Structure 1
Amino acid sequence: MSIASTSTPVRVRAPGKINVFLEVGCREDDGYHQLATAFQAVSLYEDLTAEHAVGFTMAVSGSVDVSAVPVDDRNLALRAARLLAAETGYRGGVHLEVVKQVPVAGGMGGGSADAAAALVACDALWGTDVGSQELHRLAARLGADVPFALRGGTAIGTGRGDELSAALARGRFDWVLVVNEDGLSTPEVYGALDRHRERHHLDIAPARKTPAVDAAVLQALRAGDAAMLAEVLRNDLQAAALSLRPDLAATLELGESSGALAGIVSGSGPTVAFLAESPEAAAELQAVLDAAGLDALLAHGPVPGARVIG
């Protein structure tokens, strides 16, 4: 493709996510794990603007610490742009401007949201028009969370998290997110989980080869019932994240004793997500956590996936 559909920059917004349920299967021979997860896209966003350029470059800013975010081909968004160009035969380049609101290395899929936004923005900017099915295929090649960032809303992920199926979610769920500038490496957290399971194999049930989302989670989402969902929140990575970051246990205890329906480590952490009964209850909890010196943010879900805006 050599003729672009637009000469003006394209702006795309993509959401962060919370895993309201995450069961991790046993470690396979290739080192990966089968997953069963319930994703919810929430109202912390990544804004990405794409404009024509000779090569492939990017810049990053935001309301969170971005000092550790690479701006070369290690960045998933830049890799997404190059992948789309290679797959479609597009011969130009792009400059990406990313404004981040999702915590970096926080277990909320910010990098995956950037990649999804880059696919949507470059497809619109270049006029490649590959369609949603092809965008999903390319997203899955970039990482397990990228297809969900494209889709948004609420969905069930299986396989390595990239095989998505729709999940009906009614109403609105209100969250208070406690973020931390000291991120956690996802591979390190999975490694800690494997070691935890090996050490305690006599005390805990073995991991299933093919995990599945608890039916009670789907029921709570369909009902739009925050109290019901709070009873069935689950993250198999939480114990591993707490072993690497014991301070998160105190954060969970404070939130749950200060009005949260329940708290959970988001994905591989270290972001902690508290489910609140209402927007008002979430605002009250945020005030308590802020007063304790924590960086607490309000968010709600579900929200749409990567979309062109403006």
Structure 2
Amino acid sequence: MTSQAETVTVRVPGKINLGLSVGPLREDGYHELSTIYHAVSLYDTVTVQPADDWSVHVTGPWGDRVPADASNLALVAARTLARRRARRAKVDPVRIDIDKNIPVAGGMAGGSADAAAALVGCRELWALDHIENDMLEGIAAGLGSDVPFLLHGGTAIGTGRGEQVTSVLARGELHWVLWAGEDLSLSTPEVYAECDRLREEAGTVPGTPEPSGELMAALRRMDTDAVADALHNDLQDAAISLQPVLSEALAAGLDLGARGALVSGSGPTVAFLVGSQTEAIDLSVGLAANGPHGDIVRATGPVPGAQVVHHRNSPEPYRALPTPHRPGPPGPVTG
């Protein structure tokens, strides 16, 4: 067993859903889903270190929107892993510091990302060599539907309620411009409820959700225009119904030259697909000048999931969870 580190810092990306098909409501209260996850280079940084008591501290552009109490999902993740470890030996509490750059309640799984980072960081901090990847993924699935994907990152199909993850081969990279409205947030349960209401109103009965063959084929070729044509999100109409400014943002980005656009997940972050870094810069500038007010970030994908980037007092390199995808460089923030 390796010796315990004093601090471990983990970088974890946000995600967008390139395709999201929502099926019927299940007996457990979740909807059956088929989604294609895509991790992008917009990162939270999570640092864990031993402490006398459990605590979480949040800074960064979105830090004031994150709970710093026992409900924080990163803290819940750490304590859950500690209980699993307690079957063998007691571990010390940790202080968790989160630098929050992924929008909160924005459809990019920022809370789930922090939970994934806490699991990876605490496993390293506590030298939990016996906690294998499959076991960590099982713990992650119990914390939230998006947490297992963010352990790995890349591009992947999510089924069930999203927690059953299978990697997708997607060579190359895609360029994105992400728009997040200021003081704009959506509750995931609220968006799903609105989706159900709109379907009932329209007399639509959802079938079994399946991944889009067109989108899968486009990703295998990493054909930007084909991916753009295949983007879809069954929750988009519901998100727009609750926050009509999203329609304005989508229209503005497409008018300014985006190849494709969609609301990410339950929203309200809007993801615009472009063909290059130059196009991303041009669209960022255009949105800042002519679109609805919001934070604008350039990003690339796919990128790996939660990875240790700093490990004090350990000469051993971190063994990341496997991913078949080549990372893209992080994009600069604009706007």
TM-score interval, normalised by the smaller of the two chains: over 0.9
Q: Is the 8 A contact 2:175 2:299 kept in 1?
A: yes
Matching residue of 2:279: 281
| 1:233 shift after superposition | 0.3
- Partner SS, residue 71 of structure 1: coil
Tell me: CA distance 1:151–1:163, structure 2 relative to 1, closer, same or farther (3 Å): same
For the pair 1:171 / 2:169, whether they are aligned, the reply is no
User: Is residue 112 of structure 1 aligned with residue 115 of structure 2?
Assistant: no
TM-score by structure 2 length? 0.88
Is residue 38–residue 156 contact of structure 2 (8 Å, CA) maintained in 1? Answer: yes
1:49/1:97 contact within 8 Å kept: yes
Deviation at 1:91, TM superposition (A): 3.2
- 2 CA distance for matches of 1:238 and 1:272? 10
Q: Which residue of 2 aligns with 1:79?
A: 76
**Matched position secondary structure for 1:297:** strand
User: Could you tell me which of 196, 199, 221 is aligned with 2:198?
Assistant: 196
Give 1:197 deviation, angstroms: 0.6
Aligned partner of residue 140 in structure 2, secondary structure: helix
Aligned to 1:128: 128
- Equivalents in 2 of 1:47, 1:134: separation in Å? 23
Cross-structure match for 1:207? 206
In 1, the alpha carbon distance for the partners of 2:108 and 2:227 equals 19
| Maintained 8 Å contact 2:62/2:102 | no
- What letter corresponds to residue 196 of structure 2 in structure 1? D
| In structure 2, distance between residues paired with 1:126 and 1:291 | 49
Give yes or no for contact 1:289–1:295 (8 Å, CA) kept in 2: no
Q: Flag the 1:186–1:52 CA change in 2: closer, same or farther, 3 A.
A: same
* 1:114 match: secondary structure: helix
1:170, distance to aligned residue in structure 2 (A): 1.3
CA offsets per residue over residues 139-193 of structure 1, 9 Å max, x none? 0000000000101000000001010111011111000000123210000000000
Aligned sequence identity (%)? 49
Q: Equivalents in 2 of 1:7, 1:23: separation in Å?
A: 42
Matches within 5 A, 1:10-159: 10-62=8-60, 64-89=61-86, 90-129=90-129, 130-159=131-160
- CA deviations on 1:181-216 (whole Å, 9 max, x unpaired) are 321000000000010111001xx4x211x3110111
**How far apart are 1:4 and its partner, in Å?**
7.8
CA distance in 1 between partners of 2:302 and 2:27 (Å): 35
Aligned residues of 2:91 and 2:126 also touching (Cα < 8 A): no
Q: CA deviation at 1:7?
A: 3.5
Secondary structure at 1:221's aligned position in 2?
helix
For the Cα contact (< 8 Å) 1:7–1:52, is it kept in 2?
Answer: no
Cα shift readout 1:235-260 (whole Å, capped 9, x = no counterpart):
00000000000111010000001010
Amino acid at match of 1:58: V
In the aligned structure 2, how far is the partner of 1:24 from the partner of 1:119?
28
Task: Deviation per CA, 1:85-113: give whole Å up to 9, x if none.
Answer: 00111331000000011001100011000
Aligned equivalents of 2:172, 2:272: Cα separation in 1: 17
For residues 230 and 269 of structure 1, the distance between their equivalents in structure 2, rounded to whole angstroms, comes to 18
Match of residue 304 from structure 1: 304
- 2:62–2:101 Cα contact (<8 Å) kept: no
Q: Counterparts of 1:286 and 1:133 in 2: how far apart (Å)?
A: 40
Secondary structure, counterpart of 1:231 in structure 2: helix
Partner AA of 2:85 in structure 1: T
- Do the aligned partners of 1:5 and 1:124 also contact (CA within 8 Å) in 2? no
Residue by residue over 1:202-232, the C-alpha shift from the partner in whole angstroms, topping out at 9 and shown as x without a partner, is xx4x211x31101111111110111000011
Aligned counterparts of 1:226 and 1:91: Cα–Cα separation in 2: 47
- Structure 2 counterpart of 1:287, one-letter code: V
Residue 242 (structure 1) aligned to one of 240, 243, 248: 240
1:79-138 Cα distance to aligned partner (Å, 9 max, x none): 000000001113310000000110011000110000000000000001112121111010
* Stretches (4+) displaced over 6 A: none
Q: Which whole-Å CA distance do the structure 2 matches of 1:117 and 1:34 have between them? A: 26
Question: How many angstroms apart in 1 are the aligned matches of 2:75 and 2:27?
Answer: 30
Partner residue in 1 for 2:4: 6
Q: How many Å separate the matches in 2 of 1:277 and 1:160?
A: 31
Say yes or no: does 1:223 pair with 2:212: no
Distance 1:166 1:106 in 2: 24
**285-294 or 159-168, larger mean C-alpha shift:** 285-294
- Distance in structure 2 (CA, Å) of the matches to 1:101 and 1:68: 11
Q: CA RMSD in A?
A: 1.2
